[in-house]
Amino acid sequence: MRPSPSSVRRGRAVLFAAALVLAAGLVQATPGATLTRKDVTWLRRAGFGIDSAVLARYQALGRARYLDELLAGGDDTLPPAIQATIDSYPAVSTPPAELLAQYRGRQRQLKAMPDGDAKLAAKKALQRDGRELVKQAQQAELLRAVYGGNPLKEQMVWFWLNHFSVYGAKGRVRLLAADYEERVIRPHALGRFRDLVMATLKSPAMLEYLDNDKNAAGKVNENYARELMELHTLGVDAGYTQQDVQQLALILTGAGIAPPAPDGRPDARRRPAGAVREGLFLFNPRRHDFSDKTLLGRRIRGSGHAEIEQAVDLLTRQPACARFVSRQLAEYFLADRPPPALVDAMARTFQQSDGDIARVLRTLLASPEFAATGTRKFADPMRFLAAAMRLSLDGRPVADAAPLANWMAQLGEPPFGRITPDGWPLDGASWSGSGQMARRFDVAAAIGSGRNRLFVADGAPRTPPALDSPLFRRTLAPWLSPATRAALAKAGTAQEWNTYLLASPDFNYL
């Protein structure tokens, strides 16, 4: 049964009060558990929550070896049922060139149709199918976050999707969002930052979103050049000038999307000398400005595609880039105001390793600060939802991921849903307001009730998940605050107990 309105109001009041207690640092620990509080804190921050598989692996290997395994980047495999679900999505299984060719063909058919109801219906169908592809991309990302075998890698995929944000509802991005996650971000999530930047630069989703496909000699578009410096590599306070943005925009002229053949195969037409084709990326020398440029004080001779490689090398090897990326990582994983000494150490690792993401993360995750319990950070909706589902499902595969995407939309952080290129906020303060807490309570109630359509295909009874489980008792229970314990004691049903736990400050603060 659903909680009564009075119990919902009472539960919210209790949990809001508990949030104030936790924010003040008045949390007591219960000693004597097998796992230490630092173990649990480390696991919750390093991964998307804790499930039995994560806990077993951590205890079998110990923290140092487990971290080695995570940073190696392997084992992001999925349960067979979840992999089959993702593979069934046309957004994932259809090559992006084929999706673009189909879209272009339908646009041509639409343009040739006479005005009238049939044309209007065809236009709506094209728009509807585009929205469906974005939904599939969102669901695939959420399923990976909940079930991925390497939770640290899944967090990094989410982090980079946000750092190199694209808006799924813009133009052809809706056709390319799933490819962006699967084949651009994911392969480089723990690799070299320079390679990740270059992969996003050559991604058709990024080229479409920030308009570099329109950037040509004599008709320069600065959108991508500006965001590449401000949001992707250097940060807004790095000391570069508008002239640097203009020069970078000239370097990027001619970098665009290759037109696919009508059947979706690569365009076989003869390309001019100096052209570079990689997948759907095409550097077209006929659209490039071959003048010499000066970027960040460095002269770059007009040489075509090589200019882009030189510019990315220059940007990613700036000390400002090391500091900017390191601070964002520390802010996301650890605290809204991360310790400056830790950020400095991460930046040094970044520079010494030529932007090796895994090594920078090791500096962060192996630091004493990372497992410290004195500083708490409010989880963004993605970290909250993934952790709630890992605890609730504990590996049990869902049949329908649509509720996951709906909850993320309700919480205000849908994947590929940020209109502006700055990505969703990293600081916990942006997600801990009263409005967000109310929405989070509603989502916690939906998860805690079990009355959703996650298992609709297998006919499973919709009963509250058993969150008061051995997993909970080994990880979260020993260190619950008195306020959360009091709230749980007042729950009249299993559904209320689940709701109070998932909405509690102890669960939402990392």
**In a 3-state reduction of DSSP, which class is residue 167?**
coil
- Beta strand pairing call for 255-257 and 281-283: antiparallel
Q: How many domains does the chain have?
A: 1
CA separation for the pair 504, 508 (Å, rounded)? 6
Q: Is residue 497 part of a domain?
A: yes
d(CA 393, CA 414): 21
- Could you report how far apart the first and last alpha carbons of the chain are, in Å? 31
Give the whole-angstrom CA distance, residue 111 versus residue 115. 9
Question: CA–CA separation, 306 vs 274, rounded Å?
Answer: 10
Structural domain range at position 12: 5-52+377-411+429-508
Give the model's pLDDT for residue 463. Answer: 85
Q: Which of 440, 486, 493, 441 shows the shortest CA–CA distance to 468? A: 493
**Residue 75 phi/psi, 5° resolution?**
50, 50
Q: How many CB atoms lie within 10 A of CB 76?
A: 18
Question: What per-residue confidence (pLDDT) applies to 49?
Answer: 95
Q: Half-sphere exposure (CA, 13 Å, Cβ side) for 170?
A: 17
Q: Is 178 helix (H, G, I), strand (E, B) or coil?
A: helix
- Does residue 95 form part of some domain? no
Residue 245 belongs to a domain: no
| Residue 32 placed within a domain | yes
Give average pLDDT by consecutive 10-residue segment, the chain, 510 residues.
Answer: 47 43 32 73 96 95 96 90 97 96 93 93 95 98 97 98 98 97 98 98 98 98 98 96 98 93 61 92 97 98 98 98 98 96 98 98 97 91 98 95 97 98 95 95 95 72 87 96 97 96 97
* Residue 367 tokens, joined: 């630091």
The pTM of the full predicted model, rounded to 2 decimals, is 0.91
Q: Judge whether 439 lies within some domain.
A: yes
Quickly list DSSP for 268-288.
-SPPPTT-EEETTEEE-GGG-
Which residues, other chains included, contact 417 with Cβ-Cβ below 8 Å and sequence gap of 6+? 138, 167, 168, 169, 408, 409
Residue 471 lies in a domain: yes
DSSP secondary structure code for residue 254 in this structure: T
How confident is the model at residue 265, as a pLDDT?
A: 61
For residues 459, 465, 470 and 476, what is the CA-based torsion angle, rounded to 10 degrees? 140
> Considering the domain boundaries, does residue 317 fall inside one?
no
Classify residue 393: in a domain, yes or no.
Answer: yes
The pLDDT, as a whole number, for residue 243 is: 98
